[in-house]
């Protein structure tokens, strides 16, 4: 297993269990304690985790403005993202203009959309997603302006924001770092500005977020769940959270994840 995959699995375990001993994590991942310790040390040094006696826990106090490294983010909840992306792509209709927000879950939707091989126009503020979409011979791909956010393929800044603000799309696939029952939020003001513009630019906005993001908060709010046409998440969403969203009138599609 590659280091990024191991480190993603460690984060997933700690999201589920809160904290865990090194031995328990090494057993769950099928790696030696020494390898596991090196991964935990890396994740602690990079701000993902905090040490506990004999183990580790998520760095909760830094979660609101903190993001995993790009290679780790890509590997976290990969199966859920794939299922969400496949469901999102099924909503596409030939000839539509579709906005793809930057992110690993929206990237999964882009891969699934290309596999459908139907003609549509795509606009994105993500260089990696643009590369995925450009492979599809039926997809006409546009990229916003802006500058590249350090450590990611995301385009941000005034040019990116103005590009999105000028658009009128049929459909947008939006990502988020966190959502509560009524608020969507992300880890920086620059990202939040782009996402706010995407919310306003599309006739139909579909939020793509795995269940680990449901009912958590990040640094900067950019919109409300009432503005969504649909939330696609995975079927591991807590029953109480699903009931709360449904009671507020938020349409939710909880897709199964292959074991």
Tell me the per-residue pLDDT of 19-56, one tens digit each, with 9 for 90 and over.
899 999 999 899 999 999 999 998 888 888 888 988 99
53 and 172 within one domain? no
- DSSP string covering 122-157: EEESBHHHHHHHHT-TTEEEEE--SEEPTTSSBEES
What CATH code is carried by the domain that includes residue 24?
Answer: 1.10.10.10
Instruction: List pLDDT tens digits, range 87-144.
Output: 999 999 999 999 999 999 999 999 999 999 999 999 999 999 999 999 999 999 999 9
Residue after which a domain boundary falls, among 18, 40, 74: 74
89 and 61 within one domain? no
Domain of residue 135: give its range. 77-255
Q: Where are any strands of DSSP class E within the chain?
A: 19-21, 49-52, 55-58, 97-100, 120-124, 139-143, 147-148, 155-156, 169-174, 178-179, 183-186, 202-208, 220-224, 230-234, 252-255
8 and 121 within one domain? no
Residue after which a domain boundary falls, among 17, 42, 74: 74
22 and 90 within one domain? no
| Percentage of the chain exceeding pLDDT 70 | 96
Question: What is the total count of domains within the chain?
Answer: 2
Residue after which a domain boundary falls, among 74, 96, 128: 74
The pTM of this model reads 0.85
173 and 55 within one domain? no
State the CB neighbour count (10 A cutoff) for residue 159.
13
């Amino acid at each position: 297993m590659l280091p990024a995959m191991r480190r993603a699995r460690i984060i997933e375990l700690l999201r589920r269990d809160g904290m865990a001993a090194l031995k328990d994590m090494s057993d769950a991942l099928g790696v030696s304690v020494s390898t596991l310790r090196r991964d935990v040390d890396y994740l602690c040094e990079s701000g993902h985790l905090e040490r506990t006696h004999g183990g580790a826990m998520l760095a909760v106090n830094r979660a609101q403005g903190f993001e995993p490294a790009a290679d780790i983010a890509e590997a976290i909840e990969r199966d859920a993202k794939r299922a969400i992306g496949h469901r999102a792509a099924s909503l596409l209709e030939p000839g539509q203009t579709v906005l793809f927000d930057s992110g690993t879950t929206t990237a999964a939707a882009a891969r699934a959309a290309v596999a459908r091989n139907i003609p549509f126009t795509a606009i994105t503020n993500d260089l990696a997603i643009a590369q995925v979409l450009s492979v599809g011979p039926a997809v006409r791909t546009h990229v916003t302006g802006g500058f590249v956010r350090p450590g990611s393929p995301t385009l941000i800044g005034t040019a990116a924001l103005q590009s999105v603000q000028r658009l009128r799309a049929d459909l947008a696939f939006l990502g988020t770092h966190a959502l509560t029952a009524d608020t969507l939020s992300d880890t920086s003001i620059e990202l939040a500005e782009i996402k706010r513009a995407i919310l306003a630019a599309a006739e139909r906005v579909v939020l793509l977020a795995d269940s680990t993001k449901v009912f958590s908060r990040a640094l900067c709010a950019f919109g409300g769940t009432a503005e969504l046409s649909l939330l696609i998440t995975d079927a591991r969403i807590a029953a109480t959270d699903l009931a709360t969203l449904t009671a507020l009138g938020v349409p939710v599609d909880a897709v199964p994840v292959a074991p």
